[in-house]
Amino acid sequence: MLEVRNLMVFFENALAINDLSLEVEAGEFVGVIGSNSAGKTTLMNSLSGLIIDMRIKEKRRGGERITIYGNIYYQGDDITETKPSDRVKKGIVLSRERHPVFPESSVLENLKIAGYLKKRSEVLETIEYVFELFPALKNLRSRKAGFLSGGEQQMLAIGMALVVRPQLLLLDEPLLGLSPMMQQAVLEAIVRLRASSGITVLLSEQFARPVLPLIDRGYVVENGMLAMYGTGQELMDNPEIKSAYFGIY
């Protein structure tokens, strides 16, 4: 479904992604694990196409030069230079880190805003599905998003991505800043989402412990480079992963 070949991303002379390749098959739940500043968000921005907009904006204002090498293929098509809006139309949707929402709008309004490109009937149907997936949001549907907890905002951000009806859902550090209990709630919802819809999920995260038991396969990224990969179980059993992410020596 998704194939990344030898991706390299430079911000001026700083190398953010270094010759990175990975694959995601349809229906899989794949994780990209790495510490802070490993290049995970740059990878997600590259897959969603946001890096293209960033490059254009920086060029217009004479700012940081962004250079991209390598190729990204989606369902057999090269989308390396495809605009983010066109990637959304193809079914690639990103839920960005730190759960960006419209704080002055209610939960329900946020979900409707996210579906502005879809038919009203489709949006309403998906909103009901989101409320089934995240029951806590249903009781908060009239509350302004800015008054939600961090975990509730993260659920809303994922819900907003789902309203677009993605085929490939990109989740950039959805557990960042959440309590262990809320992390588990978000992950359980993602597992239920995949089981009920068959959606393909690619998740980037620095908290490996709660993620590895749930994913089909994982890639470990360090300094923008692929350090290792394998099934979730293989990575959990790897001594280097235990040492780096679990504190087990």
Express each pLDDT in 21-62 by its tens digit.
999 999 999 999 998 888 999 999 999 999 999 999 888 888
Given a cut of 90, whether residue 114 has pLDDT beyond it is no
Q: Which of 197, 206, 111, 121 is nearest to 155 (CA)?
A: 111
Provide the pLDDT confidence category of residue 182 given band limits of 50, 70 and 90: confident
Using an 8 Å Cβ cutoff, are 187 and 111 in contact? Answer: no
Q: Which of 124, 155, 123, 125 is nearest to 139 (CA)?
A: 155
Given a cut of 70, whether residue 112 has pLDDT beyond it is yes
Q: Radius of gyration (Cα) for the chain, nearest Å?
A: 18
pTM over 0.85: yes
Express each pLDDT in 133-174 by its tens digit.
888 888 898 999 989 888 888 889 988 888 888 899 999 998
Using an 8 Å Cβ cutoff, are 228 and 240 in contact? Answer: yes
What is the percent of the chain with per-residue pLDDT over 70, rounded to a whole number?
Answer: 98
**Average pLDDT estimate for 81-88:** 92
Phi and psi, residue 42, nearest 5°: -60, -40
Copy the structure tokens of residue 58: 């920086």
Q: Which CATH number fits domain 2-246: 3.30.420.80, 3.40.50.300, 3.20.20.450, 3.30.1330.50?
A: 3.40.50.300
pLDDT score, position 109? 92
Q: Which of 217, 204, 232, 247 is nearest to 39 (CA)?
A: 204
**What is the C-alpha separation between 139 and 233, in angstroms, rounded?**
37
Provide the pLDDT confidence category of residue 249 given band limits of 50, 70 and 90: very low
Q: Where are the domains of the chain?
A: 2-246
Alpha helices in the chain (DSSP H): 40-48, 50-60, 84-90, 107-114, 120-133, 135-138, 150-163, 180-197, 208-211, 232-237, 239-241
**What is the C-alpha separation between 72 and 229, in angstroms, rounded?**
19
Phi and psi, residue 32, nearest 5°: -115, 110
